[in-house]
Structure 1
Amino acid sequence: MEKRRQEIVELVKRESEISFAELKQHFPEVSEVTLRKDLKYLDSTLQIIRIHGGAKSLPAAIGTVDNFYTRSTKHIEEKRVIAAKAVKLLRPNNSLFIAAGSTCAEMTKVLPDIPLQVFTDGLVTALELSKYSNIEATMIGGQINTDSVRSSGFKVFEELNKLHFDFSFLGTDAYRPDFGFVCCSAHAAALFQTLIERSDKTVVLMDSSKVDAIRAARSIPTNQVDIVVSDGGLSNATAKALSQAGVMLL
């Protein structure tokens, strides 16, 4: 049953929206009653959104198919490698912030179910955190940015300035050794800087496609980050630049 429900979730994510008739074609051996129960359960756990005559993915339902969801389907194997490395940093009773973003969301899927205090500004990340029984999860409030599916605005910083974390895990839009970690919005850059100040260790989750993909003028200097977790595809030059800046590469 669990395998079938996961297959339904993946199908709805891939298609963005699917009718009940199409779903029945994919699972001809399953009764309509059972499929409707599956949809009801998946809707109740916010893995899909039930609509009249079928289902939608969460990004489709809130109008973000062409941005967050598109990013989440790119370089998926690299993101899984990064996620598996990143969770090895964690120990019981750590406090951490996991930022919104597709790589961070991938990490959230494979967290160890141990006592952790986890804060996030990401809606998708928060939904993943809700599946764990031993993790105390807190969603940072604010206005919803539908492009990045995250909380934004002054309330985010108001709450963060009252907190301190053992680790903060963030993504980056791009990276270049002579420029630093690139943020494509003023909010993202301010969040990055605030988390550096509020955390013992700042960890950037970055697949190798981000190197030299400069997309904006806002950046965070390399030496302000403690750890970079990547997919093993970084060039020797990039690895050397990180090392020279005092950044540990995993």
Structure 2
Amino acid sequence: MNSRQQLILQMVIDQGRVSVAELAKMTGVSEVTIRQDLNLLEKQSYLRRTHGYAVPLDSDDVETRMMNNYPIKRQLAEFAANLVNDGETVFIENGSSNALLARTLAEQKNITLITVSSYIAHLLKETPCEVILLGGIYQKKSESMVGPLTRQYIQQVHFSKAFIGIDGWQPDTGFTGRDMMRADVVNAVLEKGSEAIILTDSSKFGAVHPYTLGPAAQFSRVITDDKLNPAAHQTLKQSGLTVDIVPHYPSL
């Protein structure tokens, strides 16, 4: 991969969706050259091409996912942190927005944080926050604990709020996930009956994945950004969910 292709890949990761014309303008080469670069990067599984655009690959790697829509996710995390009080014990599930929330809470609040994400636990190693990392089968790509042991550990701990990530939502499917084992962990958390809050950027709405998270009635709140489709917003509210829309300020 040459320096131009590295720049292209970074732009796609940072922006989430970039046109061929924009990439050509930013790199100073022709659109024909950009298409050749994109073909190569797609063949090497670095990104995915759509008509006239390049988009990131879906990835289980938390750090890679965090780079997608990072400014929006940071603002979502700041908003969600305001819902947590000093002294609370909260569960934070896997995912990039949740990792940013965990770091924000650890820096701002005196809390106990329970997680199945070894990535989140490692992220907080230099903070005063008390971290409880639940055990289980270690999923290397997602850096998360899953399986029957994890479900048992969840049953043994208590928390007032749970922050959950999703991979998709549609009106007829509800909230969905890409991974069966991680979906089972989420459903074990929901069975606890604590306040369950979905923290996600709006790109997940409209997508559908194989494994159900829910039903929706087990969630209490959705926190997302102002690019959420108005029809989806209305459907979520009709399901009885509180929907918090966080405005995106690009200058932040």
TM-score (norm: length of structure 2): 0.69
Alignment pair present for 1:128 and 2:119:
no
How far did 1:78 drift?
A: 1.6
Sequence identity of aligned pairs in percent? 25
User: Does 190-199 or 86-95 show the bigger shift?
Assistant: 190-199
Equivalent in the alignment of 2:31: none
Structure 1: give runs of 5+ residues left out of the alignment: 1-13, 15-65
Distance 1:197 1:166 in 2: 13
Residues 1:210 and 2:204 aligned together: yes
Using the alignment, how far apart are the partners of 1:129 and 1:181 within structure 2?
Answer: 28
Instruction: Identify the residue that residue 142 of structure 2 maps to in structure 1.
Output: 148
Relative to 1, partners in 2 of residues 1:217 and 1:91: Cα closer, same or farther, differing over 3 Å?
Answer: closer
C-alpha deviation, 1:219, in angstroms: 4.0
C-alpha displacement of 1:115: 2.2
Partner Cα separation in structure 2 for residue 200 and residue 220 of structure 1: 13
Cα distance in 2 for partners of 1:167, 1:102 equals 18
Aligned-partner residue type, residue 154 of structure 1: P
Q: Which residue of 2 aligns with 1:87?
A: 81
CA-atom RMSD in angstroms: 1.9
2:155 is the alignment partner of 1:161? yes
**Correspondence for 2:188:** 194
Deviation at 1:220, TM superposition (A): 2.4
Deviation of residue 104 (structure 1)?
A: 0.7
Per-residue CA deviation, residues 177-236 of structure 1 (Å, 9 max, x unaligned), is 221110122212211111112242001111110011113243423222111111122121
Quick check: 2:183–2:211 contact (8 Å CA) kept in 1? no
Cα deviation, residue 158, structure 1:
1.2
**Structure-1 residue corresponding to 2:42:** none
Hey, what does 1:234 align to over in structure 2? 228
Select 1:220's aligned residue among 210, 214, 219: 214
Matched, 1:244 2:204: no
The correspondence of residues 59-78 of structure 1 with structure 2, limited to 5 A, is 67-68=60-61, 69-78=63-72
- Is structure 2 residue 79 aligned with structure 1 residue 103? no
- 8 Å CA contact retained: 2:187, 2:213: no
C-alpha change, 1:67 and 1:184, in structure 2 (3 Å) is closer
The structural deviation recorded for 1:103 is 1.3
Shift of 1:131: 2.6
Contact 1:182 1:216 in 2 (8 A): yes
Contact 1:167–1:203 under 8 Å retained in 2: yes
SS in structure 1 of the partner of residue 138 of structure 2:
strand
Structure 1 residues 239 and 165: CA distance shift in structure 2, 3 A: same
Is the Cα–Cα contact under 8 Å of residues 87 and 107 in structure 1 kept in the other structure?
A: yes
Q: Secondary structure at the match of 1:233?
A: coil
Following TM superposition, the consecutive aligned residue runs of length 4 or more in structure 1 with deviations greater than 6 angstroms are none
In the alignment, the residues of structure 2 paired with residue 74 and residue 126 of structure 1 have an alpha-carbon distance, to the nearest angstrom, of 21
What's 1:116 paired with? 111
Distance 2:68 2:176 in 1: 19
* Per-residue Cα deviation, 1:11-48 (whole angstroms, up to 9, x for no partner): xxx8xxxxxxxxxxxxxxxxxxxxxxxxxxxxxxxxxx
Measure, in 1, the Cα distance between the counterparts of 2:181 and 2:209: 15
Q: Is contact 1:167-1:199 (8 Å) kept?
A: no
Shift of 1:157: 0.9
Give the Cα separation in 2 of the matches to 1:109 and 1:83.
Answer: 9
Runs of 5+ unmatched residues, structure 2: 1-9, 11-58, 245-252
CA distance in 1, matches of 2:152, 2:229: 39
Aligned to 1:170: 164
CA contact (8 A) 1:185 1:218 kept: no
Tell me the distance in 1 between the aligned counterparts of 2:210 and 2:100: 24
User: Distance between the aligned counterparts of 2:174 and 2:141, measured in 1?
Assistant: 23
